[in-house]
Structure 1
């Protein structure tokens, strides 16, 4: 209600012009580095295990990385308050670079896991900073373009991570892969002071005293992230369900604690009665929850259609391509009514794509049917691209207070990381339900996620209703004024 950014036209040329280029490229690079590394190790670990041993730690690689990433996203507001924008980015890229180098020289699997945790801390801080700096460093008219760019980096990373991991693994070069990420992190860090010079520097000094680490909330979110990550690696449907139930209890505890606490992860507006912000966060969560399907699409393509791993990976990447490409056009849409329609239509298109993909699954399908998978998966990803940038802008415009606005923006990365972890765990349970039948497993995952993702249309509609009601209320009119 405070800043109708979506009503102001803007262009990609303006965002990527000389005046705003640094404030766009540095956050995008940070988000991309973190997104790539979520899945980079998946392609490298088999080769690393063959050299280092420690196969029992294999499944914990993603767990350690995601938990560390979630923890770091929650420290974004404190980091900006204490170190400012440039200092925070230098800390994020430095941590990511050191963690990547440590991965490259790890002498044992246990050391590699610790190093991945350090990578995750750096990547989480960079992801949280991305959306926060878009809000502070860019004019409101460019927020939709800026958040679309940040969101597109998740889509690109979901494709580039497995592809790069598989490419380096093909030559047995898992150490150079991590070394290359260290070079990228160091290179980005070097350009930070110049690129962000004079661009939306966050207040320091006195601000640090006001922004305190929400210890209780952070511990509960960490418990949620840890539990859902453990659920992804434990065996047995019953064990997975029990751990997920514990995660849900911790999530309920988080909400109860946040409502009563003065020091929160999410902004106070989230818990105001009648606020649309909680419904916006839920919609973002549902969309990114569904992205976890990508992790299992290569498995289905290999087992059902007999595709080689590299080709199967490209089929799965159709979701990310749809996500990233659609945002180019979606971010051009202006007008509150049109934007609200896109936010509702996005989850519906995503769910419809997954539903159709489930319907066309076959064992040993003909070639023409396999080719149909690509546009169907592209359309599913397009559903994310339609809605995600506008949902992100709804978060950025939720409050006129700079401190609360920064906290709201950083929480986008927290919600996204948690939802991906949650989705991966739930997908693992649904795969197990199929038993020995890969066709049944594929249908359980695709139909189950289609149903769950469709609920995003309900939460998006609820957010739109709350926004209209708030705009008609005395409070909403005061904010708009």
Structure 2
């Protein structure tokens, strides 16, 4: 595809490759390491949150409670922006070793932390490693897998976010219940060590060489500030305070984009800002899909308060969106015809918004088991919208540039968009829940209807991404 053409290319084979080809002897090692890197980062977004009350009871430092998620997400965003530069300097295997090493050291620091500030330092190191691994998971697909497996590879990578959202709270809650929160971090360190040992054997050393682009300090600072502002907004008391925090974050995000457009030192590839380019619409659609997953922050609460579910069952109920996301990608990634792929990219946001709309209409006070049985598939339907579109949008971003360096940058930015959108979504969810006042039913409806409207914007951006507009 020419770099100045906005049309999204169809690079899929005439016949879809089987999953067995991706997970067969030739590519299994690379696929497992790439997937594990994304998974450990996704699991640890919520793993520590589930265990933090237990950790605070032992370490103290309750005033630092809210910084656990904020520092982790900010560190992740920073690291995802450095992926393409790490690949140029250290190559695929070297960059992965650094990512797993950072995550391992951070996990051990958390496990051994004598005080809450030390735990937060460990979380920062974990976030840096997780962000680097998440970005590498998408960027290294270009060199580790043949082009015909890109869609399958992207489906596997993005499914790891869904699996992580499902497993993180459950795993953290399990370890916390038995008072063994430190062992959870030891387990994560062990996973990182095992993957790190496998890296030199299964990943290519390619991607290394060429001049390393200067670090976009201003752009990264603005993005970091926006992520921090929206993360803090999510835990501020009061709806107005949260709304103000989100407004500040949006202003910082606008400043980030304005600087990126006119600067030679960018986080996103130049094609993102080129007139007529589809890439900006691809990223916006990916962002709105990732934004929708944030309802899971409050769905367990609604399950407990409206349906009387026990905490463990409510936690699994809250992961229904992620479950739908992960399962749907198994079938979605088989699509190869250009018309079908385009249809999936536009149908995904429709199902996501429709699922939230229907779920909002189904909310009831003192809901019976019958209502709960209906709620689960509806949330899975919403998540399936993400699964339909996400892998194909990811491939579209990866294939948006003929230049290899810009292609790596475009692929790595998928993780940046996903992480920032998750942070923004969590904060917006907090504001919408606050609008319900003292009514849990009102809060549930504000959240679900609000997300239905916001995620429906993805229909517009997906159509814009598919529109062929010559530059």
Paired residues of 1:5 and 1:144 also in contact (CA < 8 A): no
CA distance in 2 between counterparts of 1:203 and 1:230 reads 37
Q: Partner of 1:479 in structure 2? A: none
CA distance in 2 between counterparts of 1:210 and 1:150 reads 26
CA distance in 1 between counterparts of 2:12 and 2:231 reads 36
Paired residues of 2:364 and 2:441 also in contact (CA < 8 A): yes
Paired residues of 2:12 and 2:337 also in contact (CA < 8 A): yes
Compute the RMSD of aligned alpha carbons: 1.1
Paired residues of 2:42 and 2:165 also in contact (CA < 8 A): yes
1:201 aligned to 2:206? yes
Q: Deviations over 1:88-111 (max 9, x none)?
A: 000000000000000001111111
Q: Partner of 1:36 in structure 2? A: 43
Query: Any runs of at least 4 consecutive aligned residues in structure 1 with deviations exceeding 6 A, and if so which?
Result: none
Paired residues of 1:137 and 1:200 also in contact (CA < 8 A): no
Equivalences, count: 464
Within 5 Å, give how 1:415-430 maps onto structure 2.
415-430=417-432
**TM-superposed deviation, 1:7:** 4.4
CA distance in 1 between counterparts of 2:310 and 2:436 reads 22
Q: Deviations over 1:213-254 (max 9, x none)?
A: 111211111111111111112111111111111111111111
1:165 aligned to 2:172? yes
1:360 aligned to 2:367? no
For structure 1, the residue ranges without an aligned partner over 5 or more in a row are 476-481
Q: Partner of 2:350 in structure 1? A: 348
Q: Deviations over 1:148-201 (max 9, x none)?
A: 0000000000000001001101101101111111111111111110111xx361
Paired residues of 1:294 and 1:316 also in contact (CA < 8 A): yes
Q: Deviations over 1:420-456 (max 9, x none)?
A: 0000000001111111111100110000001100110
Q: Deviations over 1:14-52 (max 9, x none)?
A: 111222222211110100000000000121011101111
CA distance in 2 between counterparts of 1:299 and 1:141 reads 42
- TM-score of the two chains, using structure 2 as the length reference: 0.97
CA distance in 2 between counterparts of 1:107 and 1:167 reads 22
1:62 aligned to 2:88? no
Within 5 Å, give how 1:362-381 maps onto structure 2.
362-381=364-383
**TM-superposed deviation, 1:210:** 3.5
Distance of aligned partners of 1:458 and 1:200 in 2 relative to their CA distance in 1, 3 Å threshold: farther
Paired residues of 1:23 and 1:133 also in contact (CA < 8 A): no
CA distance in 2 between counterparts of 1:72 and 1:165 reads 24
1:125 aligned to 2:132? yes
Within 5 Å, give how 1:4-15 maps onto structure 2.
4-8=10-14, 9-15=16-22
Paired residues of 2:289 and 2:349 also in contact (CA < 8 A): yes
SS of 1:404's partner is helix
Within 5 Å, give how 1:139-288 maps onto structure 2.
139-196=146-203, 199=204, 201-204=206-209, 207=210, 209-288=211-290
Q: Partner of 2:439 in structure 1? A: 437
1:386 aligned to 2:388? yes
Q: Deviations over 1:63-99 (max 9, x none)?
A: 1110110010001011111111111000000000000
